[in-house]
Structure 1
Amino acid sequence: MSEAPATTAEGAEPAARRREQRAWYFYDWANSAYVTTVATVLLGPYLTSVANRAACPGVDADDCTRDLHVLGLPISPGSLFFYTTTFATILSALVLPVVGAAADRSGRKRVLLGAFAWAGAAATCLLWFLDGTAWGLGVAVVVVAALCLGSSLVVYDALLIEIATPEERDRVSSRGWALGYLGGFLLLAVNLAVVTLHDSLGLTQSQAVRLSLLSAGVWWGAFTLVPVLGLRDRPPVNLVATSGPAVREAFVQLRVTLRELRGYPQAFRFLLAYLFFNDGIQTVITSSSVYGSEQLDLGTTQLIVTILLVQAVAFGGALVFGRLAARYGARDVVLGGLALWLVVIVIGFFLPARQFALWLALAVLIGVVLGGTQALSRSMFSHLVPRGREAEFFSLYQACERGTSWFGTLVFGLVHQLTDSYRPAILALVVFFVVGGLLLRTVDVRAGTEQAGNRAPELL
C-alpha cells in the first residue's frame, strides 16, 4: 500500500480542531462510567461477595475460610477479582499491539473506536445477570470489558495526535480526563441514590448494585456516539509495504515497529517507567473499594461517597496539573505527582479501620494527583510517537493503562493470599512508584521528540 498524504492537526483550521477536540473529550466522559461505577467501586466488592457465597454457601463472608477452585487451582475469594484483572491484562498485552497495528493501517480509527466501545458496553450490561453464586459470569465480563476498553483506548489516545498540535496536547489531554471525571461523578451520584434508597425503590441491595452496573454499560455505549459522529478519519501514512489478509498485514507492521523501537530509546524508557508507576496507580484505583470494605470495614454507601469525592476533586486536579505543565513542563509535574502518590500509600497503610473522616481526607489527596498524572503522561508520550505509528505505540502504552494493570494486581493478590491482610498488600505498591519515578527522571522528552521526527513545543 502506498503512502497517503497526511492531514495533520497543524494543517487544520483552529475552529475545526476545536470541534473535533470537543467530540474527542466525550469518549473520556463515556468510558469513565465503566471505570468508576464498575471497575473501581462496585464490581470488586460485589464479585468478591458472589465468590464468597460460592465458596462457603450459607456462611457469613467474614467467616469463609474455603477457596474456590478454578481450573484445579485454589483461589481465595478475596483475590479472585485481582487475579481476573491480571489475566485480562496479560491477554491484553498479546492482543492490543495487533489492534494498534491494524488501526494504523485501517484509516478508520473512529469506526474502530465505536466498535470496541459498544462491544465493551454490551458485555458490561450483562452484569445485570450476575447474581447468586454465578462468579464465572463476572470473571468473563471483567476479561471481555477490559479487552474492549483497552482496545478502544488505544485508538482514542492515538487520535490525540491527529486533533491537537504539540502545544495543545497537555491542555486537550487534561480537559479530556477532567470531563471523564465529571461524567463518572454524575453517574455514580445517581447510583449512590439507587444503592442507598434501594428499599424505597422496591429493590434488594443486590438488584440496586446490578442496576447500577447495567447503567454504566448503557452510559458507555450511548455517549460513544458523540466522538464517533464528531471525529473524522484520516488516511494512513508511513505504512510498511506488505500484502495478504488484514491480520497478517497488522502482524508484519507490528514486527517492524517493535524492531524499530530500538531507534526510539526515550520512548522505550518512558514506557518502562510508565509500566511501573501506572501499575501502582491502577492497582490503588482497582483495590481501593476492596481495601475500604474488607480492611477498613467501610460500607458500600461510604465507598461510593468516597469515589464521588475523588471524582469531584480529580476534575479540578486534572485542569490544575494541565496549567502547571504549561509553566513547569509535563515531566517535572508528573514527578511531583508520583511523590504525592507515595504519601497516599503510606497514609493508607496506617489508616485505622472505621475512620471515615480520615478516609475522606485521603480521598481528597488521591483526587488531586489522580487525573493530572494520567493526563500529562498521555500527552507527554504523544510527543515521542513517530507519525503513522500512533495506535501501535499507544497500544504498548495502553497495555499498562487504567483498568489493565497486571504487575500491581498480581503483587496485591499474592501478598493478600500470603498474609491474609490487605495492609501489607497496599504497602508493597511503594516499589512501583519509586522505580517508575527513578526511570522517568532519566527520560529526555525533547531528545525523544526529535528522535520521533516531531516538532517539539517550547516547553516539555
Structure 2
Amino acid sequence: GMVLVTFSAIMFASGENLIAAFLPEIVTEENMGKMSGYGWSLGYFGGLLTLGICLAYITWAKQQGMSETHYVPVTLLITATIFALTAMPTFLWLRERAIPAEWDRSLSSLQVSFARLKHTFKEAARFRDLVWFLITLGVYQSGVSTVVVLAAIYAQEVMGFDTQSLIVLIMVVNVTAAVGAFICGHLQDRMGSVPTLAVTLLIWIVAVLAALFAREPAHMWIAGNIIGLAMGASQSVGRALVSKFSPAERAGEFLGLWGLVNRLSAIVGPLSYGLINYWSNGDHRMSLLSTLSFFIAGLALLSKVNESRGKAAAFSSGAIIDDTVY
C-alpha cells in the first residue's frame, strides 16, 4: 500500500509540473495571471466536489452499518474516478504547440535532464530574478505547506473543533481559496505579479496572526477564511510568475524547478513546525509563530525580485545547452 501511495504522489507531482509547463504555451503574457488563477480556482472547486461526494457516500455507508474498512477504500475509488474523468479533456483536446528539443540520442533522457539542470545553474546570473524568486518561493511556500498540513490539527487541539465542524471549515476554506485564486488572477494582470504576491503575503501574515490570537471557534472561522483567500492567491501568482520568467523553449525545465521547490517546502515547513512543537513541549501557538516567520522572510526576499528585468531576461534568452547534450 505504501508503495502505491508513494508512486501516486510522485506521479501527481510530475503531472502538476507538466500541466504548469503548458501555461506559457497556451496563453499570452497579458492574460497569464488570469488563466493561472482560473486553473487554481477550478482545482479547488474540483476538490470541493470530490470531498462532497465522498462525504455523502460515507454518511450513507455509516447508515448502512458499514465499517471504515469497507467505505474508506470506496472513497479512494471515487476520487480516482473523478480525477480520471476530469483529466480526459486534456488528453482528448489539448495539443502541444512547442517543438520538442533535439538531443544526442546516445544519451538517456535522464542524462539530458541532469545536463540541462547543470547548465541552468551555470546560467543563474542571467536568470537572477528567476533564481531569486525560486528562493523566495521556497521560503514562503514552506509556510503555506505548514498551514495546509497542520491547520486541521491546530483547529482540533487548540480551538476545540469537533470532526464535523472541521470538515465544514475545510469545505468553506476550499471555496474561499477558489475565490482568492480567481480574484488574484485578474489583479496580477493589472498590477503585476510581484506587487500582487506581496499583497497575498501580507494577507498570509494577517491570517496567521488571526489564528495565533484566536481564542474562540468563531475567531478561527475568520482566520480560516482569510487563509483560504491567501492560499488560492499565492499559489496562482507563484506559478504565473515562474512562467513569465521562463524562456518559451525551457518552460518545462524551469517549471519543473518550481515543482521541485514546492515539494521541498512541503518537507521543510511541517518539519520545522514539528521541531518547534517538540522543543516547546507541544505549544502549538509557539509553533505557529515560527510559521509566521516564513511569510515575513518571504515578503522581505520578494522585494529583491524585479519583474520587468526577469521577463526581459526570459525574452532575450537564446541560451542552449552544449552540443554534446543535444
Distance (whole Å) between structure 2 residues aligned to residue 435 and residue 155 of structure 1: 29
- Provide the residue aligned with 1:287 in structure 2: 150
- Provide the residue aligned with 1:373 in structure 2: 234
What is the Cα deviation at residue 209 of structure 1? 4.4
Distance (whole Å) between structure 2 residues aligned to residue 281 and residue 451 of structure 1: 28
- Provide the residue aligned with 1:397 in structure 2: 258
Q: Which moved more, 1:340-349 or 1:157-166?
A: 340-349
- Alignment partner of 1:453 out of 290, 294, 315: 315
What is the Cα deviation at residue 207 of structure 1? 4.4
Distance (whole Å) between structure 2 residues aligned to residue 141 and residue 357 of structure 1: 39
Higher relative contact order (CA 8 A, sep 6+): 2
Q: Which moved more, 1:189-198 or 1:154-163?
A: 189-198
Q: Which amino acid aligns with 1:427?
A: L
- Provide the residue aligned with 1:13 in structure 2: none
What is the Cα deviation at residue 348 of structure 1? 1.5
Residues 1:427 and 1:378: Cα distance change in structure 2 (over 3 Å): same
What is the Cα deviation at residue 306 of structure 1? 0.8
Q: Secondary structure at the match of 2:223?
A: helix
Q: Deviations over 1:140-182 (max 9, x none)?
A: 5554333222211111111101111111211110111111111
Q: In the TM superposition, what are the counterparts of 1:42-53 in structure 2 within 5 Å?
A: none
Q: Which amino acid aligns with 1:293?
A: Q
Q: Does the 8 Å CA contact 1:174/1:322 hold for their aligned counterparts?
A: yes
Residues 1:437 and 1:421: Cα distance change in structure 2 (over 3 Å): same
Alpha-carbon RMSD across the aligned residues, in angstroms, is 2.4
- Provide the residue aligned with 1:174 in structure 2: 37
- Provide the residue aligned with 2:196 in structure 1: 333
Q: Which runs of 5+ in 1 are unaligned?
A: 1-125, 127-136, 456-460
Distance (whole Å) between structure 2 residues aligned to residue 283 and residue 206 of structure 1: 29
- Alignment partner of 1:363 out of 215, 224, 229: 224
Q: TM-score, normalised by structure 1?
A: 0.64
Q: Does the 8 Å CA contact 1:178/1:315 hold for their aligned counterparts?
A: yes
- Alignment partner of 2:173 out of 301, 310, 332: 310
What is the Cα deviation at residue 441 of structure 1? 1.4
Residues 1:278 and 1:445: Cα distance change in structure 2 (over 3 Å): same
Q: Does the 8 Å CA contact 2:208/2:223 hold for their aligned counterparts?
A: no
Distance (whole Å) between structure 1 residues aligned to residue 118 and residue 142 of structure 2: 25
Q: Does the 8 Å CA contact 2:208/2:227 hold for their aligned counterparts?
A: no
Q: Which moved more, 1:294-303 or 1:338-347?
A: 294-303
Q: Which amino acid aligns with 2:194?
A: R
Q: Secondary structure at the match of 1:224?
A: helix
What is the Cα deviation at residue 246 of structure 1? 2.5
Q: In the TM superposition, what are the counterparts of 1:49-64 in structure 2 within 5 Å?
A: none
Q: Secondary structure at the match of 2:55?
A: helix
- Alignment partner of 2:246 out of 375, 382, 385: 385
Q: Which runs of 5+ in 2 are unaligned?
A: 318-326
- Percent of aligned positions with the same letter in both sequences? 27
Q: Does the 8 Å CA contact 2:141/2:265 hold for their aligned counterparts?
A: no
Q: Which amino acid aligns with 2:229?
A: V
Distance (whole Å) between structure 1 residues aligned to residue 50 and residue 262 of structure 2: 22
- Provide the residue aligned with 2:323 in structure 1: none
Q: Secondary structure at the match of 2:80?
A: helix
What is the Cα deviation at residue 307 of structure 1? 1.2
Q: Does the 8 Å CA contact 1:240/1:253 hold for their aligned counterparts?
A: no
Q: Which amino acid aligns with 1:323?
A: H
- Provide the residue aligned with 1:427 in structure 2: 289
What is the Cα deviation at residue 244 of structure 1? 2.1
Q: Secondary structure at the match of 2:30?
A: coil
Q: In the TM superposition, what are the counterparts of 1:269-284 in structure 2 within 5 Å?
A: 269-284=132-147
Q: Does the 8 Å CA contact 1:351/1:358 hold for their aligned counterparts?
A: yes
Q: How many residues align?
A: 316
Residues 1:424 and 1:206: Cα distance change in structure 2 (over 3 Å): farther
Q: Deviations over 1:93-136 (max 9, x none)?
A: xxxxxxxxxxxxxxxxxxxxxxxxxxxxxxxxx6xxxxxxxxxx
Q: Deviations over 1:317-366 (max 9, x none)?
A: 222112222332221111111011111112212323xx433322222212
Distance (whole Å) between structure 1 residues aligned to residue 220 and residue 70 of structure 2: 27
Q: Secondary structure at the match of 2:248?
A: coil
Distance (whole Å) between structure 2 residues aligned to residue 348 and residue 206 of structure 1: 35
What is the Cα deviation at residue 400 of structure 1? 2.9
Residues 1:300 and 1:207: Cα distance change in structure 2 (over 3 Å): farther
Distance (whole Å) between structure 1 residues aligned to residue 165 and residue 4 of structure 2: 25
Q: Does the 8 Å CA contact 1:194/1:201 hold for their aligned counterparts?
A: no
Q: Which has the higher helix share?
A: 2
Q: TM-score, normalised by structure 2?
A: 0.88
